[in-house]
Chains A and B, each alone.
Chain A
Amino acid sequence: MRRHRRAALELLGPIGLLVAVGLIGSGTSASTREDFVGTLIAATTVIAIYVFVGNSGVISFGHISFVALGAFAAGVMTIPALIKPTVLPELWPFIADNEIASTASLFLAAGLGALYALVVGVPLMRLSGLAAGIATFAVLEITHNVLRFWEKIGPGAKTLSLVPTTTGTGTATIGAVIAVAVAFAYQRSRRGRLLRASREDGAAAQAVGVRIHRERLLAFVLSGALAGLAGGLLVHQLGSITTEQVYLELTFLTLAMLVVGGVGSLWGATVGAVLVSFLDTVLADAEDGVGLGPVEVTLPNGASLVILGVLMTLVLLLRPSGITGGREFGLPSDRGAGRWRRFGR
Chain B
Amino acid sequence: MKQNKKMIVCFLTPALIFFVAAFLYPICRTVVMSLFKVESISDPVGLWEFVGLSNFADLAETTIFQVAMINMLKIWLIGGILVLSVALLFAGILTSGIVGKNVYRAIIYVPNIINAVAMSTMWINYVYNKRFGLLHNFFTWIGADGLAKLDYMNGSLKFVSLLIAFCFGSVGYFMLIFMSGIEQIPGDVFEAATIDGAGKIKQFFTITCPLLKGTFKTCLTFWTVSVVGFFVWSQMWSAPLASEMSTITPFIYMYNVTFGTMGNVERNGGLGAAVGVVMALVVLVVFFVVGRLVKDDDLEL
Our verdict on whether A and B bind, yes or no, reads no
A interface residues with partner B (beta carbon < 8 Å): none
Task: Identify the B interface with A (CB < 8 A).
Answer: none
